[in-house]
Amino acid sequence: MMIALWVALPYAAILSCAAGHVWRYRRDGFRGYLEGPHIDRAQRAGITAVRVGLPIVFVVRVVEMLASGPHSRPGHGIQLALGIIQIVAVPVTIAGVALILIPPLISADVRQRVTPLDRITLPLLAAALMSAVLVTFDGGSTDGRYRTAETLFTWARSLIALHPEPAVMDHAPILYQARGLIVMLIIAVWPYTRLAGILTVPVVRVLRQVAAAPYRSAPTV
Rounded CA separation 218/214 (Å)? 6
Amino acid 76: pLDDT: 84
Amino acid 173: pLDDT: 92
- In Å, how far from its chain's centre is CA 3? 24
Amino acid 41: pLDDT: 85
Amino acid 144: pLDDT: 63
**What single letter denotes the amino acid at residue 177?**
Q
Average pLDDT over residues 91-116: 77
Residues 6+ apart with CB under 8 A from 125: 93, 94, 97, 186
Amino acid 108: pLDDT: 57
CB of 195 within 8 A of CB of 97? yes
All domains of the chain in start order, with CATH: 2-217 (1.20.950.20)
CB of 135 within 8 A of CB of 175? yes
106 pLDDT above the threshold of 80: no
Least confident of 44-48, 94-98, 110-114, 124-128: 110-114
The per-residue pLDDT for range 2-51, each reduced to its tens digit, is 899 999 999 999 999 999 999 988 888 877 777 766 678 888 899 899 99
Mean of the per-residue pLDDT values of the chain = 85
